[in-house]
Amino acid sequence: MNKIPDKERLEWKKLILGELKVPLKNFFFQMKVTQLRSLLKKNEITLEDAVNDIYNLCLKFSNAKNMSSDIEAIFGSDIVIETTSNITEPTTNTVKNVEETQKNSFSEPSDDLIIKEEPKTSNKADLNNDFETKLQERMKEILKQKQEMEEKINKVIKAREEAEKKAKLEKKKRLLELERMNMKKEIYKPKEIIFEKKAKSNKNSVSEKSSEAPILIKNESKQKEIERQKKLKKVRTKKKVDNRNFIQRWFNL
Amino acid sequence: MESKLYNIEEVYELIEQGDLLGLAGDEKVLSKLPKGNWIAGTIPYFMDIDQALFTQEKIYVNKLSDKDSNFKIKTFDENDIDSLLDDSFENGFSFIIIPAFQNVHSAYALKMPNNTNLYNNPVVGWVSGVELNSLDTPKIYNGLAGKSFEDQAVIAHIELPKNKIGQLDIINIFKQDKKSPQIQFFIDSFEVVNCLIDDVEHNLAEYISKNNIDTKLPLIADYTGASINVSIKEVDTDNGIVSFFAPVFEGKVYKFAAPIDNYVNEFEINVKQLDHKNEFSCNCILNYLYGELEGKKINNVKGPITFGEIAYQLLNQTLVTLNIYET
C-alpha cells in the first residue's frame, strides 16, 4: 500500500491553486486536479473542501498505476513511500523505507500513516502559519478584485443596453421618416459585421491596454457569444434536416 | 471469458450464464437478445483480435462483473445528470452507454465535468452510433428490462471487492502543435462563433478556413498533464459557425494538434504502455475513419469503435481503457 502525505501538507493547497507545476501521470489524478482548479475558480468549492476531496481520493487510489510517482513529484523524494502492491511502476528509484504498513486501504489514515519526513527547517510550523495568512490575504484580495470587476462589467453592460435602446429608437424614427418620404432603402447592417470590424480595429489596442481591459472585453464578448448562440439555436430548430444528411454531416462525408 | 466478437448464439449462452455483460452490436442483432444481465449500445464497427472491422452480424461482449457481484442498472435522461452517480458503490466503477445526437449526450458532456462525485470511482463507457450511411438512429439497451431507448442513456454501477480497484487510462496519439496559437472560448458549448486566438477575438470558422487548418486534427487542452481532445465536426463558413463532437470549455486553453504521419504506428507505440489485460477498451470512429484502420490490426487493443468515448467525461479521438487491479 502506498502512503499518501498528510492533508495538512501545503503542497496539496499549492497543487490545487496551480502553484505547483508538476506534470502528473495518473489519469484520475490529472482529471481530478483539473476539476478542482476549475471549481475553485468558479467559487463552487472552498480550498479546504478541495484539499479534503483530493486527499481522500488519493488515499483510495493510492495503489493505482503512476500514483506513487505523482505523489513523489509533488512532495519530493524525501517522502517515505512503501509499495507492496502488485502494480509495477516505471520509476520508484527514490523510494525509501517505512516503519509501518497500512492495513485497511479505504479507512481514514491513523497517525502511523502520516508520512515520516525529516524536518528541513526548525521553524516549519511558523512557515506554515505564515503561508496560511498570506494565502488568506491573497484570497481576500482576489475576492475584492473580483467584486470590483463585476461592478465594472455591470456598468459596461448597463451602458451598452441603454445605448442599444437609444439606437433602436433612433432607427425606428428614421425608418418612419423614410417610409413617409417613400424611401424604403434599408440601411440596416447585421450586428455581426459591425462587431467583427470593431474587433479587427481593436486588434492592436487590446494588448496595449491595462491588465483589466482584456477581462472586460472577454466578459462583453461572452455576453455576445451567448446572444449569438441563442440566435443560432432559434434558426437551427426551424431547420428539420434529413437524418441521413445529418449523420453524413457529422462525419463530413 | 474473453472480450471479443461473438455470434448471436454464443451471446445467448453467455447471457444465460448470468454474468453482467456490456454488449455492442448492430440493432439487427441486439434486438433479438433475451432479457438478462446486460446493457448494450448500437454500433457496427469494432477492433477485434485480428483487425478493425465492420460487421452487423456479430456482437462484441465484455464481461463487466460476475453474477454474484452487486450491480445496479438504470436508464437516465438529460434531467438526471446531476444525480447520476449518487447511488454508485463506495468501491467499484460505473459503465455507461449514451446514444449519439441526443439531448442526454450533450447534457452529459456539458454538465458532468462539474459533478463533484465524478472521480469517486472510474466512470467509463461510450457513445452508441450507427452505420455511417444508414438512416437508423443510435440506441441503447437495458437488457434487464428488455427495452431499448433512443433518447435515454444506460448506466451500470458495479461493486468491486475491497481488494480490487478500477483505473482508467487513455491513449491519445495527438499532441499539441507547438506552433499553434492559444485558443480560448467564452462559454461551454458544442458550437462556437467567436473565440480568443492569442488573446484577439476572431471568428473561428473564418480563422480555420483562412489558415487552411486540417479539421481532421482535434483541438487539445492540457488537463494537468492529460491531453484532452475536442474534434471538429463541421466548419460552416457561410454562417461563421464551428461545431464540435464534444464541448469546448470556458477557462481552458486549447491548441490545434500537430499532424500525424501514421495512425497505426502511433497507436502501436502508445499502446505499449497499456496494461494488456484491460477489462474494457473502446476507440473513436474518427480514428477508424481518418486513420483508415479497417482491416488493420493494432496489437492488444479490442472493443467497439464508437461515436464518443467516456473516461469520466466525454472524449474524442481517444482510446479509453479500464483496468481492474488487485491491491
Residues A130 and A203 in one domain: no
Residues A19 and A103 in one domain: yes
Name the residue facing B135 among A57, A229, A244 (closest C-beta).
A244
A-chain CB neighbours of B186 within 8 Å are: 218, 221-222, 224-226
C-alpha span between B21 and B15 (Å, rounded): 8
The proportion of chain A whose per-residue pLDDT surpasses 70, expressed as a percent, equals 53
Position B288 in a domain: yes
Residues A82 and A113 in one domain: yes
Residues B58 and B121 in one domain: yes
Position B62 in a domain: yes
B-chain CB neighbours of A212 within 8 Å are: none
Position B176 in a domain: no
Name the residue facing A207 among B120, B199, B327 (closest C-beta).
B199
Predicted confidence at residue A181, as pLDDT, reads: 63
Contact between B319 and B121 under an 8 Å Cβ cutoff? The reply is no
B267 pLDDT above the threshold of 90? no
Residues A102 and A128 in one domain: no
Q: Total structural domains in chain A? A: 3
Mean pLDDT of A106-120: 35
Q: Is A157 left (phi over 0), alpha (psi -120 to 50) or beta?
A: alpha
B269 pLDDT above the threshold of 90? no
Residues B65 and B203 in one domain: no
Tally A–B CB contacts below 8 A.
Answer: 149
B24 pLDDT above the threshold of 50? yes
How many other CB atoms sit within 10 Å of the CB of residue B67? 10
C-alpha span between A185 and A197 (Å, rounded): 23
Residues A107 and A172 in one domain: no
Position B64 in a domain: yes
Residues A144 and A233 in one domain: no
C-alpha span between B99 and B75 (Å, rounded): 11
A244 pLDDT above the threshold of 70? no
Residues B167 and B199 in one domain: no
Assigned C-alpha cell, A97: 523505507
Q: Which domain holds residue B235?
A: 183-256
Residues A19 and A84 in one domain: yes
Chain B: closest CA distance from residue A32 (Å): 7
B17 pLDDT above the threshold of 80? yes
Predicted confidence at residue B48, as pLDDT, reads: 92
Q: Cβ separation of A28 and B116 shorter than 8 Å?
A: no
**Final residue belonging to a domain, choices A118, A149, A176:** A118
Q: Total structural domains in chain B? A: 2
Is B238 touching A (CB cutoff 8 A)?
A: no
DSSP state letters, B134-175: ------EEETTTTEEESS-EEEEEEE--TTEEEEEEEE----
Question: DSSP assignment, residue B83?
Answer: G
Residue that has been written with the C-alpha cell 464508437 in this structure: B306
Residues B238 and B317 in one domain: no
Rounded to a whole number of angstroms, the distance between the first and last alpha carbons of chain A is: 51
> Which neighbouring-strand residues pair with B123?
B94
Q: Is B179 helix (H, G, I), strand (E, B) or coil?
A: coil
Q: What is the pLDDT of residues A189-217, one digit of tens each?
A: 333 333 443 444 444 433 333 333 445 55
Residues A85 and A22 in one domain: yes
Residues A102 and A113 in one domain: yes
Query: Cα-atom radius of gyration of chain A, to the nearest Å?
Result: 28
Q: Give just the sign of the alpha carbon dihedral B289, B290, B296, B298.
A: negative
Q: Is B101 left (phi over 0), alpha (psi -120 to 50) or beta?
A: left
In the sheet that holds B254-256, the strands lie side by side as B200-203, B194-197, B183-184, B254-256, B219-223, B226-230
Residues B249 and B285 in one domain: no
Task: Name the residue among A122, A29, A9 with its Cα closest to residue A76.
Answer: A9
Q: Which of residues 275-314 of B touch A (CB under 8 A)?
A: 275, 285-286, 289, 311-313
Q: Cβ separation of B132 and A87 shorter than 8 Å?
A: no
Residues B188 and B52 in one domain: no
Name the residue facing A221 among B186, B225, B233 (closest C-beta).
B186
Mean pLDDT of A222-244: 64
Contact between B39 and B95 under an 8 Å Cβ cutoff? The reply is yes
Query: Which DSSP helix (H) or strand (E) runs through B30?
Result: helix B27-30
Position A193 in a domain: no
Position B178 in a domain: no
Is-above-0.80 flag for pTM? no
Residues B233 and B143 in one domain: no
User: B92-99 and B254-256 as β-strands: parallel, antiparallel, unpaired?
Assistant: unpaired
Residues B252 and B270 in one domain: no
Position A113 in a domain: yes
B-chain CB neighbours of A207 within 8 Å are: 199
Residues B25 and B134 in one domain: yes
Q: How far is CA B299 from the centre of its chain?
A: 20
Position A4 in a domain: no
The proportion of chain B whose per-residue pLDDT surpasses 90, expressed as a percent, equals 86
**Final residue belonging to a domain, choices B221, B256, B291:** B256
Residues B276 and B236 in one domain: no
Interface-testing mutation among A58, A61, A106, with chain B (most B C-beta atoms within 10 A): A61
Predicted confidence at residue B197, as pLDDT, reads: 97
Of A113-122, B30-39, B62-71, give the lowest mean pLDDT range: A113-122
> Which neighbouring-strand residues pair with B280?
B322
Residues A165 and A110 in one domain: no
Residue that has been written with the C-alpha cell 463558413 in this structure: B237
Q: Is A161 helix (H, G, I), strand (E, B) or coil?
A: helix
The ipTM (two decimal places) reads: 0.94
Residues B237 and B216 in one domain: yes
The more confidently predicted of residues B239 and A224 is B239
Residues A101 and A128 in one domain: no
Position A159 in a domain: yes
B172 pLDDT above the threshold of 90? yes
Position A2 in a domain: no
**Final residue belonging to a domain, choices A164, A188, A212:** A188
Q: Which domain holds residue A245?
A: 199-253
How many other CB atoms sit within 10 Å of the CB of residue A192? 16
Name the residue facing B223 among A30, A61, A217 (closest C-beta).
A30
Predicted confidence at residue A44, as pLDDT, reads: 93
How many other CB atoms sit within 10 Å of the CB of residue A157? 13
Residues B207 and B316 in one domain: no
**Final residue belonging to a domain, choices A118, A142, A158:** A118
C-alpha span between A142 and A154 (Å, rounded): 18
Query: Cα-atom radius of gyration of chain B, to the nearest Å?
Result: 19
